[in-house]
């Protein structure tokens, strides 16, 4: 139970910190943090939680990561579903808190703001197609898993994994915010989509499917790269 609580609170912080920066601070007149600030915010949530709860739950904060680590032989199958449930609950609670805060601004319009929801086609920030969004999410999550598994390998420099993983997530956002608003995390996508409803929910399938596919590919690819000498953490 302590692991599930850690995952729930960790995912809560990721969604509140990352999506909160996008909803509350990115577009603020003159002083808005923009894409770079949002990307850094997501990276910082992972770094801070990795140090805070990594020793408790492993700090997955992401159903795709949990499934990918299972596929890579780093996680027990019996724990996959409980972790995913805890992560999704944490994300939805964070979305609710964010909605309460955001709606306190005069003139706030949930539909017009987009509420940091992920989307493709007309709901992509850069109007990128479904195919572009699918490929982007798969490849970005694949690289994320490679970095996670590599930096947590027993042969890697110790103590630096949270920084590598957080910086990787920052880079992923710098690349893909214009394409999909960056998911690579089904819990993050679900946490805000349930409040937006409508198109955000109807497009949510992609932001479950693509990250999971990418995570499994990344995990299996790392095992090939690492070879038989890989030492599990």
Structure tokens belonging to residue 156? 């890697």
Instruction: Note if the pTM is more than 0.85.
Output: yes
Identify whether the C-beta of residue 117 lies closer than 8 Å to the C-beta of residue 193.
yes
CB 42 within 8 A of CB 168: no
- The pair of three-digit structure tokens given for residue 130, joined into one six-digit string: 């479904």
> What is the C-alpha to C-alpha distance for residues 211 and 99, in angstroms, rounded to an integer?
25
Cβ–Cβ under 8 Å, residues 119 and 200:
yes
In the prediction, which pLDDT does 26 show?
Answer: 84
Task: Identify the three-state secondary structure at position 2.
Answer: helix
What domains appear along the chain, each with residue ranges and CATH number?
3-226 (1.20.1080.10)
Residue 124 backbone dihedrals phi, psi, to 5 degrees: -80, 135
User: 178-201 pLDDT, tens per residue?
Assistant: 999 999 999 999 999 999 988 999
**pLDDT, tens digit only, all 233 positions of the chain:** 899 999 999 999 999 999 999 998 887 777 788 899 999 999 999 999 999 999 999 899 999 999 999 999 899 999 999 999 999 999 999 999 999 999 888 888 887 778 999 999 999 999 999 999 999 999 999 999 999 999 998 888 888 999 999 999 999 999 999 999 999 999 999 999 999 988 999 999 999 999 999 999 999 999 999 876 554 44
Tokens 């949002």 belong to which residue? Answer: 38
d(CA 58, CA 170): 19
């Amino acid at each position: 139970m302590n692991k599930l609580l850690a995952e729930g609170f960790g995912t809560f912080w990721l969604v509140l910190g990352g999506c909160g920066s996008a909803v509350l601070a990115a577009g603020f007149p003159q002083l808005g943090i923009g894409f770079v600030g949002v990307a850094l915010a997501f990276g910082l949530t992972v770094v801070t939680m990795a140090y805070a709860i990594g020793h408790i739950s492993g700090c997955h904060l992401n159903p795709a990561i949990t499934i990918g680590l299972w596929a890579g032989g780093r996680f027990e199958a019996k724990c996959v579903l409980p972790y995913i449930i805890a992560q999704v609950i944490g994300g939805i609670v964070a979305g609710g808190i964010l909605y309460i805060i955001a709606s306190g601004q005069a003139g706030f319009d949930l539909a017009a703001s987009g509420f940091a929801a992920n989307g493709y086609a007309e709901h992509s920030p850069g109007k990128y197609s479904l195919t572009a969004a699918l490929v982007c999410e798969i490849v970005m999550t694949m690289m994320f898993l490679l970095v996670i598994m590599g930096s947590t390998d027993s042969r890697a420099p110790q103590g630096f994994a949270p920084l590598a993983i957080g910086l990787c997530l920052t880079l992923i956002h710098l690349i893909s915010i214009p394409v999909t608003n960056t998911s690579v995390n089904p819990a993050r996508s679900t946490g805000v989509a349930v409040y937006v409803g409508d198109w955000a929910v109807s497009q949510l399938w992609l932001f479950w499917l693509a990250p999971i596919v990418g995570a499994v590919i990344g995990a299996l690819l790392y095992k090939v790269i690492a070879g038989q000498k890989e030492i599990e953490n």
